[in-house]
């Protein structure tokens, strides 16, 4: 499902306009429509995938979700509760102009729109997970009229023009064309007195605060879906979903590589030479690390399972410690003399200047070169 390329199914470019998509869909759907290919299983399968593709690409909101990738499964529930047509509302909208025999009429369920929000988390919040509250205003079904838009939900009569079917059929050459009934706007019913609470819309705007726990280990670019927390559907259709795009702020010294938590540990050149017991910062309490004598700059130490959780795989990465060695930038006269002695003893001082302590080009750059 997730790997289907709806664009190639409809034979359009990824940057095609909604109009081009609709045109191409109509052309293909007419070609493969079961009425024109009776008993042809391949055409029927083709017809189904064309409709599936158009159900997504024909809706700019679903299309942008599809383009962003990874959430195609979120489109599947739209067909639940659809009466009459297995292909959803877009199908009906386009096909009502071309084909007869659909048999659907009257108000049909429509899924509510999705809502998209951005949330920025600190590095620690993303790593450890946290509860977030999102304030939003969304359409909800009007309760006094049960979403009908009619006073008390009862001030409705069946449309006499279309006798409640919502459409009118006209024979036009090859096709039986069916058009939405203009008397009732295709709803099959006429409201005789509108609900004052929602002014007949059937939905009211409501402020809500949605609280959810974002799982530990989310990273930037992750989109979290909360089912059913979008706008209310119409005529008993399901609510849309709430999508949350996560951005994670960078940390001053931690970074993320895959599921590994990476930290640079700076040690002095003396700690590198003699070894030492040091502490490594983590997102919890620090961990002790024993440095061996002769620890090399750039060496890496790993703490298994002390990294970041992966909410998808439920695995936990490692804490990766990269050792860097700090070279002093200023030496006292005494320190310099000691290091020059070291250089002489180790036979390593041949290139450094002897007397001039000004430019630091001698022993100091030697020490530096050892560590770089």
Residues that bind Zn ion (CB under 5 A): 142, 145, 159, 161-162, 181, 183-184, 195, 197-198
Question: Which CB, 156 or 159, lies closer to Zn ion?
Answer: 159
Closest distance between Zn ion and the C-beta of residue 184, in Å? 3
Burial class (CB in 10 A: 0-12, 13-18, 19+), 43: middle
Question: Which CB, 56 or 195, lies closer to Zn ion?
Answer: 195
**Which residue from 21, 99, 93, 110 is spatially nearest to 60, judged by alpha carbons?**
21
Going by C-beta distance under 8 Å and a sequence separation of 6 or more, which residues neighbour residue 8?
none
Question: Which CB, 142 or 267, lies closer to Zn ion?
Answer: 142
Closest distance between Zn ion and the C-beta of residue 115, in Å? 21
Closest distance between Zn ion and the C-beta of residue 203, in Å? 8
Judge contact between 271 and 327, C-beta under 8 A: no
Closest distance between Zn ion and the C-beta of residue 229, in Å? 21
Burial class (CB in 10 A: 0-12, 13-18, 19+), 32: buried
Closest distance between Zn ion and the C-beta of residue 65, in Å? 30
Closest distance between Zn ion and the C-beta of residue 177, in Å? 16
Structure tokens at 148: 């009908």
Question: Which CB, 143 or 369, lies closer to Zn ion?
Answer: 143
Question: Which CB, 77 or 169, lies closer to Zn ion?
Answer: 169
Closest distance between Zn ion and the C-beta of residue 197, in Å? 4
**Distance between CA atoms of residues 1 and 73, nearest Å:** 7
Long-range contacts of 223-227 (CB under 8 A, 24+ apart): 223/68, 223/70, 223/71, 225/71, 225/74
Question: Which CB, 202 or 230, lies closer to Zn ion?
Answer: 202
Backbone angles phi, psi at 164, to 5 degrees: 85, -5
**Which residue from 152, 26, 165 is spatially nearest to 99, judged by alpha carbons?**
26
Judge contact between 295 and 324, C-beta under 8 A: no
**Distance between CA atoms of residues 351 and 334, nearest Å:** 20
Question: Which CB, 24 or 96, lies closer to Zn ion?
Answer: 96
């Amino acid at each position: 499902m997730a790997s289907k390329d709806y664009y190639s199914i409809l034979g359009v470019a990824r940057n095609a306009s909604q109009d081009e998509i609709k045109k191409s869909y109509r052309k293909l759907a007419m070609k493969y429509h079961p009425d024109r290919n009776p008993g042809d299983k391949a055409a029927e399968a083709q017809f189904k995938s064309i409709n599936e593709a158009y159900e997504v690409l024909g809706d700019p909101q679903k299309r942008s979700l599809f383009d962003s990738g990874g959430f195609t499964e979120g489109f599947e529930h739209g067909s639940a509760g659809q009466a009459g047509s297995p292909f959803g509302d877009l199908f009906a909208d386009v096909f009502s102009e071309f084909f007869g025999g659909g048999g659907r009429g009257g108000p049909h369920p429509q899924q509510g729109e999705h809502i998209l929000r951005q949330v920025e988390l600190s590095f620690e919040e993303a790593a450890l997970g946290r509860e977030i509250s999102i304030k939003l205003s969304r359409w909800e079904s009007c309760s006094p009229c049960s979403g009908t838009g009619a006073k008390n939900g009862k001030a409705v009569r069946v449309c006499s023009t279309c006798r409640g079917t919502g459409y009118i059929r006209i024979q036009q050459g090859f096709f039986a064309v069916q058009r939405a009934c203009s008397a009732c706007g295709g709803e099959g019913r006429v409201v005789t007195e509108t609900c004052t609470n929602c002014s007949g819309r059937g939905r009211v705007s409501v402020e809500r605060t949605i609280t959810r726990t974002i799982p530990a280990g989310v990273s930037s670019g992750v989109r979290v879906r909360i089912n059913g927390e979008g706008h209310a559907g119409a005529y008993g259709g399901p609510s849309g979903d709430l999508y949350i795009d996560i951005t994670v702020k960078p940390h001053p010294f931690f970074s993320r590589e895959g599921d590994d938590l990476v930290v640079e540990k700076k040690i002095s050149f003396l700690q590198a030479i003699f070894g030492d017991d040091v502490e490594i910062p983590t997102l919890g309490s620090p961990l002790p690390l024993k440095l061996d004598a002769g620890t090399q700059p750039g060496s890496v130490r790993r703490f298994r399972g002390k990294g970041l959780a992966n909410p998808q795989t439920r695995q936990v990465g490692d804490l990766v410690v990269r050792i860097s060695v700090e070279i002093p930038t200023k030496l006292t006269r005494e320190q310099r003399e000691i290091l020059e002695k070291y250089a002489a003893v180790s036979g390593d001082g041949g290139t450094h200047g002897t007397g001039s302590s000004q430019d630091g080009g001698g022993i100091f750059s030697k020490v530096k070169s050892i560590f770089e």
